Copies of this chain bind each other. A is one copy, B any other.
Amino acid sequence: MAAEESSVTYQQLSDLEREFDDVETEIIRQQVLLTQPLFEKRQSVISQITGFWPLVIEQAPPDIDEYIQPTDSALLLNSLTGLSVEHFEVETGGDPRSVATRFEFAENEYFEDRVIEKKFWYRRAAKDNWAGLVSEPVDIKWKEGKDLTEGLLGLAKAVWDEEQAGGANGAAKGKKKPLTEKQKALKAKIDTIGLGGLSFFTWFGYRGEPVSAEESRIATQEEKERRQRRAAGEEVATPTNNEEEEEEGDEEESLEIFPTGDQLALAISDDLWPGAIKYFTQAQENDDLSDANFESDEDIEDAELPESEDEDERPSKKRKA
């Protein structure tokens, strides 16, 4: 191995990775289009199995399960009637990595909503070329004294609305205005409560990096142009965070009530959603094994399980709630 001088740079490797990303993104688009009829078929099949989604959630992989507290679990098991994931930008030629998650609930003691929907947009930031999923806080109409997020979600939504109305230090603007009263209140609440062990429903407050659709469109275009110019031999640097901006980023993060919300979104859209039948089947097998007649026995029978035809033994569906 003669150690010849090579001119390979990190930038070249990184550009090559972006080329792979571009191809992967197109493959995801194809995948979404090709599997869509199957997901519709699946939807019509599993809609005949009441209790399908609660059982799927019960078998959720660790990167989802870790966020589901015992009270969340009881609520989801008793009231979750539907779940769906849509790659909503595919139809309009947008990014196939953007996803909308939709949770449907039966009447329950915690909140008034029958549907809670949260959208995640795949975006790129101009300032540091960051790319990933961003979202907007979604409020939940908690019943009196039943707010599982202890007020965090409502406050996060109020802060967001205030920013959108232009009254507050829009994080996207990057200006160092002092915090508003609402922002201060949110920050204080986060500091007091901490973000460990919070309800799954806090996730609906995730916002992520403050990147608008317009900024992302421009940043994506600029990124593509930089790569083309580098491929043509020009030296063009990719923008990166400087330290001052990093600090500001920290400030932003302190108003984030679910910092890993993008990862949880991915775990739901790329694992739980496509793997739902696998998880449901696992739940049934565990159920058969433990013979514990867990929640939703009625529903399991609806599914004509070969091994559990004990029609007479139907304990109450309610568990500790």
Taking Cβ atoms with an 8 Å cutoff, the residues of A that contact B are 1, 3-10, 12-14, 16-17, 19-20, 23-24, 26-27, 30-31, 34-35, 38, 41-42, 45-46, 48-50, 81, 106, 274, 277-278, 280-281, 284, 298-299, 302-306
Contact = CB atoms under 8 A, between A and B. Distances in A.
A10 B14 CA distance: 46
A16 B278 CA distance: 11
A31 B23 CA distance: 8
Q: Which of A5, A10, A13, A284: most chain B Cβ within 10 A?
A: A13
A302 B6 contact: yes
A48 B302 contact: no
A311 B26 CA distance: 42
A34 to B, nearest CB: 5
Contact of A20 (B6, B8, B35): B35
Nearest to A306: B10
Counting every copy of the chain, the complex holds 2
B31 A277 contact: no
Given A16-B38, A30-B30, A10 B281 contact: yes
A284 B10 CA distance: 10
A280 to B, nearest CB: 7
Contact of A10 (B3, B42, B298, B305): B305
11 contacts: A1-B50, A1-B106, A6-B48, A6-B303, A8-B303, A8-B304, A13-B45, A16-B45, A23-B34, A26-B34, A27-B34
A40 to B, nearest CB: 11
B35 A299 contact: no
A8 B278 contact: no
A109 to B, nearest CB: 16
A280 B6 CA distance: 16
Contacts of A48: 4, 6-8
A43 to B, nearest CB: 11
Given A41-B16, A42-B16, A45-B12, A304 B35 contact: no
